[in-house]
Amino acid sequence: MKDRTRQAQETERVLQGTAVSRGIGIAPVHVVARGFSAPEVYPITDVEAEQARFENALAVTRGQLSELQKRIEAISGEHESRIFEAHLMMIEDKAIVDRVNEAIAERKQNAEFALYAVAQNFLEAMRRVPDPYLRERTTDIEDVCQRVLRNFSHEDQRDGHPSDNHILVAYDLSPSDTASMDRRHLHGFATEMGSVNSHTAILARSLGIPAIVGLQGAVLEVRALTPAIIDGYTGKLILNPTPETFARYERVRTEKERVRHKLEAQRNDEAVTTDGRRITLSANIELVKELPFVKHSGARGVGLYRTEFLLLEGEQIPGEDFQARTYTQLARALAPDPVIIRTLDSGGDKLPVEPLLEPEPNPFLGWRGIRVSLDRPAMFKEQLRAILRASAHGKVAVMFPLVSGIMEVRRAKDLVKEAMDELAAKNIPFDENIDIGVMIELPSAAIIADLLAPEVDFFSIGTNDLIQYTVAADRVNYRVADLYRPTHPAVIRLIKRTIDAAIQNGIWTGVCGEMAGDVRLTPLLLGLGVEELSVGPHQVPRVRHAIRALSHAECAAMADEALRTPLSKDTLELTTELATKYYRDLID
């Protein structure tokens, strides 16, 4: 850290949250709250000049709002124009203006960020009042603040800039926010919301970003640019660390880096147990830009390419040609290793071309996954044709999500055949023998795995949803988080049932959910008979090391005992004991 003087002047504080992604990050804090994006923050020395910039931005905004008010009044009348009168009143509010000027002087930070910080305090207070009218006014405050922020001049000479390296503190982050982060400079993130099993936490682990959730009130308590340490092992965010704390964490980070380099040195080694059982170890990815991480990890291809980030980021779903280019890029880059492309796995509320008019009462039991694709065959076949076109350039497989019964599989396969016929009619090459698989995420699919297996070439168990639907506990709901147990006897038996049905029908079974990346559970999954594990690229070295340290026979004996065990905690103890015996350094 550069700013050791300031660090020594302020007291060390520790905020405790829940660790969701391992790692140590040391960097200044950047803060993002709800409502609108945080502006850049940087230190200033001339307080009066910065306050003058604020006054100038307010003046420009007043002029714009007055002009808008006049134009709307001329078009629609006085009543409709009053919304801008309310906006004008907000920027004239002496309490807000004075507080921003005070924040500039106290924080010694730029006016844009001072306005943002003050506004977020007001907004959070208003969101928590019982009066619905006042809560609705938060949108107006956000709109006015965004307008003022756009009216700041960015041509002024600045006294300094924050380091590009940072720890992000936010109210919440969406999976797309997490996936699109610039990981060259992000040293970790901490959020007020979220859970261990949320999509955002899963992505953080996949991307190797230290992360903490459940830091209540952090957005309002933490000041931007504060020196900090994020401990993704214990869930601590340490603000203004003392020199002693810095030194201790530098030692921890050095030791963890030593272990990481040791594991990465094995990246060309096969994932084979001590008694010769070979496991396919592949990677889960969301974005093409993750390919270098896949290559560096030594993963044998991609076991799960989530297409939602490609299809749902824009205002409309990309066309067939754009999709085909993306899938082809993956296929060529990974050849001769395979890439398994999962078709759109999203709720109907996320479709940019067809937003639901009202929210579903229970979206997790609603219109999502393969159900959406089958109901929109034209959209589905466009994706299937793009996947098939890519199959001419590498080893590509297609996988259907959220399958609940055999007719869904047959209908999806019929559409694959139609897509093949359409490409053949245009003499467009594709792999006529492309592998087709299904995600086993629902108890209904696991129970009839023996009926599904003859229809497909492989199973991939999505343990995140399988657990959630089996124990009827939303994995992101902290109130029932203790019920979400990967080692629940029902979950273990469903996994075993699926694997046995696959073996009897000559197809393979993989796991692409969070269980696959948890090295405590590697002995259990190997013992149950899993043949493939697909994990985040940054988790590959750890899982490879675990596989190479274990005896499959010993794992199988332990799994047999686990299948007879009535309590989740006892099964977790059994598999953790075996993991600790052979690779304690990965468990601690």
The residues assigned a catalytic role are 199, 512
Can you state the percent helix, strand and coil of the chain, rounding each to 5?
Answer: 55, 15, 30
Query: How distant, in Å, are the alpha carbons of 195, 304, 480, 565 from that of 475?
Result: 8, 20, 8, 23
Residues 513, 461 contacting (CB under 8 angstroms): yes
**C-alpha span between 61 and 53 (Å, rounded):** 12
Q: Tell me the C-alpha distance between 415 and 381, whole Å.
A: 7
At 476 the three-state DSSP class reads coil
Task: Please tell me the number of Cα atoms within 13 Å of 312 on its side-chain side.
Answer: 19
The 10 Å CB-count burial string (b at 16+, else e) for 75-97 is: eeeeeebeebeebbebbeeeebb
Handedness of CA 474, 479, 485, 491 (dihedral sign): negative
Residue 376 CB coordination number (10 Å):
17
For 59-150, where are the E strands, in sequence order? none
Number of other CB atoms surrounding residue 266 within 10 Å: 14
Tokens of 239: 């603000």
